[in-house]
Structure 1
Amino acid sequence: MENLVKDETETTPAATDELSDVAVTEDSVETLDDSDDMDSGEDTMESLMDMYEESFKRFQEGEVVTGKIISVDKDNVLVDIGYKSEGQIALHEFRNEEGQIAATVGDSVEVMVEWWDDEEEVVILSKEKAAKIKVWDEIKKAHDADGTVEGVIINRVKGGFSVDIGVQAFLPGSQADLRPIRNLDEMVGKTFAFKILKYNRKRSNIVLSRRVILEEEREAARSATLATIEEGKVVAGIVKNITEYGVFVDLGGVDGLLHITDISWGRVKHPSEIFSVGDEINVKILSLDLEKERVSLGMKQLTEDPWTTAAEKYPVDARITGRVVSLTDYGAFVELEEGIEGLIHVSEMSWTRKIRHPSKMVSVGDEVDAIVLDIKPESRRISLGMKQIAPNPWDVISEKYPIGTTIEGKIKNITDFGLFIGIDEGIDGLVHISDISWTKRIKHPNELYKKGDVVQAIVLDIEKKSERFSLGIKQMQADPWETVAERYEVGKEITGTVTNITDFGVFVELEEGIEGLVHVSEISREKIKTPAEKFAVGDVITAKVMNINSDERRIGLSIKRLDMGDDQGILSDYVNKMGPATSTFGEILRENLQEKMNEDK
């Protein structure tokens, strides 16, 4: 029977129905005595007839069928789809991403019937189009069932991304993530799951969303997180965003704020110094407001506060080593350990130098040695001193330079009130303007000295508490006023030069630095309005010493007394030349002389 069917199949398709009837009748006759054999024969015949009919079946163009690869040549792959002729598929449709042909005889493959050539009895098939049809079917199923599809972001396009989900689809930028993406190129080449927002098969238009999936995941995670978190609990999270005031941490659908002050017991200038977006960290729930969904987090609370043991670790007078972490106008902050900083005030940086700004002594990052001056754990403060590392030079300066010692040094600075002379490193002595000269009137020290001059001076006084070192230059010589009374006796005539003229008198220089005053009343017997009527600066005059006050450094002079001295001398000579005179005449002469002297006054 098989041979008959085979032969007829090869000759003419028109005999199919007739042969079928004959085959069934003969088979029935042959199996009358055995019912099992009869049933088996019927099944075999039906199967053969199905195969026979299938061989003449014409598939619709565009239909997707499953076939088996029967051969592979240099241009085509032949696939048996159960038709009288094998279907052909272009070899390039089996080329994989590496460029290799992925087709093996015997493999099953889904194909689409593209078109028929009845004359040549050729069937053109397409593996790629079959795959696309299958993809579109899955797209419809996913859309209708609110399911997801997987795809690879191929590249960036205007307004979003191009995604390969088997066919090309569009992912708007607003649907790519829960928040705007800073670097869109980071998404290219990555595989994600997407929701299908809408599609149009005729226009090959598909719009995807990844954001919808993320929102669903976040909502599910948020509900689960809110049900489990509580104050005091330590949880894991992922750094989501970094600002200057803190870090936002994703706890699983719920964001918590880790404020900058709760990151570390130590100093944190900016959270970005410690964290990067995407970091996984452990934090402690400090406070929780479920209604407002506000969560405050802490990281430093995972460790013990270092100030609880600071008093034991850093007692007063202890020597420490720390790193300078910050400078202010009033001092430098030194980190002793994470979370503990001490302040070195500018006044505690040097025994001798007057530090205007700590940058003159230290820089951020420097390691310094210091002494603990005071510690107050309750207010989280430690006072430190740098200068205490070395002995205070003012403690030994008075022993090294007792009062009366002559020193020699360079003038380091000149001010309107005196000279600063370098003595020891960091210690300057002051020569006040009043201690420069016994006699000279100095308006400014720079009239006599300049910076860098080497001078000698005598130690006058040392005040340790106020850190003052007083020197004197004039004390190197004796005070000329101490012996002025010996050089200029009262009543002695002297000669000097007019140095200054005022309304109340004339100043006369007797020697360098020693001046006397001729009061206006002592200039002449005649009444004068101003001394300038009779004298000019530079005039050389003679006067008589009337009085001397060495304490007040004053010498009183008189010019008119010179004339009075001459009159008295004439009268004395006249009296001496005459003999004894009558009392009457002598009395008259004395009276006349007295009247004349009164008139002169």
Structure 2
Amino acid sequence: MNEEQNTITEEMLQDDTSALEKMYEETLRDFQEGSIVTGKIIDIRPNEVLVDIGYKSEGLVSREEFDSEEEIEADREIEVFLDRLEDEHGMVVLSKHRADLQRNWNKVIATCEEGSTIEGNVKRRVKGGLIVDINGIEAFLPGSQVDVVPVRDLDECIGQTYEFKILKINEERKNIVVSRRELIEESRREARQQLLAEIKPGQIRSGRVKNITDFGAFIDLNGADGLLHVTDMGWGRVNHPSEVVSVGQELEVMVLDVNREKERISLGLKQTQRNPWEDIEERYPVGSRVHGRVMKVAPYGAFVEIEEGVEGLVHVSEMSWTKRVAKAADVVNEGDEVDVVVLSINKDEQKISLGMRQTEANPWEVAAETYPIGSRVKGTVRNFTSYGAFVEVEEGIDGMIHVSDMSWTRKVNHPSEVLEKGEEVECVVLEVDPENQRMSLGLKQAQEDPWAKIAKKFSVGDIVKGTVTKIASFGAFVEIEEGVEGLVHISQISSDHVEKVRDKLDKGQEVEARIVKIDPAERRIGLSIKAAEVADEDFEVNDEMLEGLRPGEDLVDLAGAFDDAISSLEEWHPGDKKSGDSEEPEPSDQSGGDEDRG
């Protein structure tokens, strides 16, 4: 080949190369990342579909991006979203799902704008609201825009189809915010204007509780909302609107004020009812006795509702004649039904002072006449102190039985040795002190002194039967008749040597013993079980039988020492002391401010 022919061939090759490069450059310019392109399925794999978009390399689309019912076959043309022209493997990055979204987004943008109305289906709940499907595009419906009233359960809206107003479209983020509330409010705007034109103060209107706040409730008047303030809900105490109304409740309310410029309506509920304070002084004159219910308990007193909307204060100082009340909760509880007496009325300030103790006479003023010295009374043991027991003779009147006045036959170290709480006893009035509100009672004085006839009824040498009442280290006490006990010394229990009394005797055991000593002056009886086994003709008192019964030895004190150990284990509440107990603690200041007593 000559030189001229070589030159021509090289020029032709250069022209072809330039043409190919030009075509390649044009191909590159036709493909833009972020655009939707048409491609052809050239291979179907288990998890992916290979798509040719006419670029130098193919792209893969996940099979999950195809609808389950969509037919996938070779040579089918589909629209895909061109995410990137090349990934790290030189493959085109494609997405069918994003192409569908983009196509739907373009359709919505083309047909809708902010402020327009569109239909959508509520798909699911998310934080702060709901997701609505609008022609394949997910829009956000804030919880506050679901309805004109708060929706307690947003899940009830899922699956429902509504009309929505488009509030905002963000093309850059492809976000749409919609509102159902806006459409509802628009539909009610005309009704609101009509209502504002015809509504007047003094009218009675029907409404539904729309929302409750700490200061009141908003009432839907079928076109406009009115405020029912907490102070206009009732003539009496209303601590919170929820005590009177509930969301959704139908009410009859009075129109108190209308501001058409600001579209504000003030409503009242109590104004639809009679004002109970109008003739309060005529209906509840001072000194009258009424029945009421405790509505609130404060440290300084209790508020008692004597009728709906009318409350009065019972100060702690007016609660009891006989008790020093430290705080009202010690006497009454919320919800208690009580009788009270009207002490004073302040109609202008709507305050009433009430008294509970005035419903009954001061018991101590008539106690001396009702319970003269020497009279017999019955009462219930209320509580113990270390030196006596308090007995409730009647409500508000407690008398004390000192331990020295509990038994003729034994020395009582603690009242629990003789009495039990709640036990009913009969006593003799020993003294009444109305000024100090005290009454002294005697338990033993209500009984015959058994020692007055012991010497006549029993003699030394008599065999008696009795019950073991108490066991000590030195012997056992045996009750031979009610109120009369004798001591069996440990040496007189058995002919055999006894190490411990409990080895031979038990409390409550029936025994037979012989009387070996009677001392009415010292109120003592000595017994011997061992001597009971001796024949009457052979019985003779000796020094061994009198061991432990020597003059001057206080057998009861020995027994009491044992009983004190037992008594010390018993529960005792000093706070249970009743009136007359000198150890009762002083209460805190009972007075309240002037405003509290109103």
More helix by share: 1
Larger RCO (CA under 8 A, 6+ residues apart) = 2
Q: Pick the structure with greater CA Rg.
A: 1
Return the TM-score normalized by structure 1.
Answer: 0.42
Return the TM-score normalized by structure 2.
Answer: 0.42
